[in-house]
Amino acid sequence: MNYHPSSEVITFGRRNVLTITNQLNVNYIFTNRMSLSLRGRHYWSKAEYQQYYTLSDKGLLFEDNQYTGNSNVNFNAFNIDMVYRWQFSPGSEMSFVWKNAVYTQGKEIIERFADDINETFSAPQSNSFSIKVLYYLDHSMLKRKNRKTV
């Protein structure tokens, strides 16, 4: 739906929407204290407008063959998340995380899946890397150690 403030015309559109989501999850456990997980996801959604309509003052829709706007949308999101976890002592762990993301959006509808994938992979990527350490401190153990040293 588009609203044109200068002419006060409200335009509606009838569209076909197709959404495809592919996901791959891989988990590998090295030991009971070390693991690696990998998740890849591709989301593709396209909305192609077939016809436009104008809303009348009485709430009825009339075909609008004069509308020349292009409201088509071709959107892609491709993400990879890789997490390596290491439990180095009971209740304590270290995580290494790598994330890769690619997002594209355009008004040109790409019909073939292979062409869409090629277009997505040629877009700029965003990468991030993080390290997280959780360390469990046992308050009761610290208290006992302090009493012995006094």
Query: Is 98 inside a domain boundary?
Result: yes
Q: Answer yes or no: is 82 within a domain.
A: yes
- Burial string for 12-40 (b: 16+ CB within 10 Å, else e) reads bbeeeeeeeeeeeeeeeeeeeeeeeeeee
Q: How does pLDDT run across 90-145, given as a tens digit for each residue?
A: 889 999 999 999 999 999 888 888 888 888 999 999 999 999 999 988 777 667 66
- Cα torsion through 99, 100, 106, 110, rounded to 10: -120
State how many domains the chain has: 1
CA-to-CA dists, residue 76 to 69, 104, 119, angstroms: 22, 5, 9
Q: How many CB atoms lie within 10 A of CB 116?
A: 19
Query: Which residues constitute the domain of residue 82?
Result: 20-49+71-137
